[in-house]
Amino acid sequence: MENSLNKNTHINHTHGPSDWQYEEGKQNTSNHNRENRKYFNRAFTLGAAAATLAIYGGQKLLEPGKELAQKASNEVQELFNPQTALMDETDADVKTTAINGLTNKDIDFDNYTEISLGDGSATVILDKGANVRTNDMNFAGTHPEDNRHTSIFQAEEALEFEIDGKIYKGIGADKTEYLITNIDNFKQTTDGKKINIKDGIDEDGWVAVESSETTLKQE
């Protein structure tokens, strides 16, 4: 028959050039995609690292500016509203007060009993919010018509101080329990943080500490 195939006729299933070129093309495409992903991952990692360094570097660059701004703010405040301590030279976390309105009066030691330390020493822990005062009177809320106050500074976090010299305990003129000791004990914390209290802030050198907010340790 004209259209019949001879039994000996061999049907060639060998792929032609276009077939292997197609397969090779698919392989090349796959390899190319893998390479692209690899480069993309590298670029993403490098980009993320660069962004992190840029942010960190930017923050570091801004730090001197922040310090200068704070220094300028302190200088302006010192010019128009002088404080009890020099804040540029204070690294303890405290809130100072204005010298204007700060009152001084003698403390009546008849209301206090000396704490005998013998050969030992003591530390005082000011809790957050505790004040060191020029005397044992708190005017807060009692004279709204003026700005009288006795606070030299207020602790913004718990601060520990080494006590050198005499220390007394008793009830103050405002019926609050106080510790009385020398102002020099509160110019540096036990961990080395400074409070640069100005000279002459307290006339007699004795200050009252709100002992209801402190812990006394005798050694």
pLDDT per residue as tens digits for the range 149-180: 899 999 999 999 998 889 999 998 888 899 99
Domain membership of residue 114 as a residue range:
87-218
Q: Which amino acid is present at 38?
A: K
Give this prediction's pTM.
Answer: 0.64
Q: 174 and 137 share a domain?
A: yes
DSSP label at residue 39 = H
Domain for residue 152, yes or no?
yes
pLDDT in tens, 37-86: 655 565 556 555 555 555 555 555 555 666 666 566 666 656 778 999 98
Q: 61 and 34 share a domain?
A: yes
Q: Which amino acid is present at 78?
A: E
Domain for residue 154, yes or no?
yes
Domain for residue 10, yes or no?
no
Q: 103 and 184 share a domain?
A: yes
Domain for residue 52, yes or no?
yes
The last residue of one of the domains, among 59, 80, 101, is: 80
The last residue of one of the domains, among 80, 100, 126, is: 80
**CA-to-CA distance for 204 and 37, rounded, in angstroms?**
77
Q: 76 and 91 share a domain?
A: no
Beta pairing partners, 202: none
Q: Into how many domains does the chain fold?
A: 2
